Amino acid sequence: MEAGDDLVPCFREFPNTSCWMPPPPWPETLFIDITLYSISVLTAVLNLLIIISVSHFRQLHTPTNILLLSLAVSDFLVGLLVMPSNALERTHCWLFGDFLCSLYRFVSDIIYSASVVNMVLISVDRYVAICDPLHYTTRITVNRVRVCVCLLWFCSVAYNSYFFNLLLIQQENTSYCYGECDVLTHDAVAVLQLVLSFLVPVTAIIVLYSRVFVVAVSHARAMRSHITAVTKQISVTKTAKKSELKAARTLGVLVVVFLMCFTPTYFATLGGYESMSNSTMYFINYLYYFNSYLNPVIYALFYPWFRKTVRLIVTLQILQPGSSEANIL
């Protein structure tokens, strides 16, 4: 961008190589920054409460909750690292150099990949629980889920390391002005990432949850038409089914909100950000990040155990001996 009367350099000491940007409207910038940083803090705090809850209380050590814990870790990192960095980048002047710019992009991609795979695993968990309940306890165990979560994060780092290395090789022949944090993506790499990072996992999520929805509806109808059982065993079985259906509905809301927040980003990538106004581009980006704030809000609305553990954490009752054995459910 060429210098003009309405533009100022990001770095005044490098006027010939600095990015020239419009001076920001300070009242508007201050209001937006306060809003974004407030959401960032809330996102980090709420997800930290989930991490503490599932980690501390032994009763919550279930396969499903281990997956929610992994998702909360990625959402916590979004609130702690990605959202503040993105708020700084919003002014179009990056003041922290190329290394931190590259690190910021790299960490953001790792967190995104982990979130997507988490959602796939949550869909698989609900699929087995609803569609094959007799084998759920033997196939989906806490230890197996822990191994899957570790592999999830390892593969996310390895996958994004490979693509990021390709981008760095391409970036060597590309010159930037000081104050810009951008990563140009080769068309072939962008298409491959689109398929592997979005189309394949989202298709898997939709197919699995479509099946879960069909089976859950049939179970619900069967329970409504079922004559009241006379034996305790049947009553317990029906209660277990209701519990699984409720969990499927709650996690279904989680998955739908995830798709609503993440999908516009990839449609924007296909259409090209260059054709969008700044306000539209920022809205799509922050909708993508806002999902990390909405997840713990969904837990608070649908999971009584989360509200109960928050009270115990805030009142510091978790510091008492034996608190990890408290009855939460």
Q: Structure tokens of 205?
A: 């999520």
Q: Hunting for tokens 């100022």 — which residue is that?
A: 8
Residue 4: pLDDT over 60? no
Least confident window among 78-87, 95-104, 160-169: 160-169
Q: Superfamily for 27-325?
A: Rhodopsin 7-helix transmembrane proteins (1.20.1070.10)
Residue 231: pLDDT over 50? no
Q: What's the CA gap between 222 and 203, in Å, rounded?
A: 29
Q: Where are the alpha helices (DSSP H) in the chain?
A: 26-56, 63-77, 83-89, 97-131, 136-139, 142-171, 187-194, 200-225, 232-271, 278-302, 304-314
Beta carbons of 125 and 144 less than 8 angstroms apart: no
- What per-residue confidence (pLDDT) applies to 149? 96
Residue 234: pLDDT over 50? no
In terms of pLDDT, which residue wins out, 18 or 187?
A: 18
Spans of all domains in the chain? 27-325
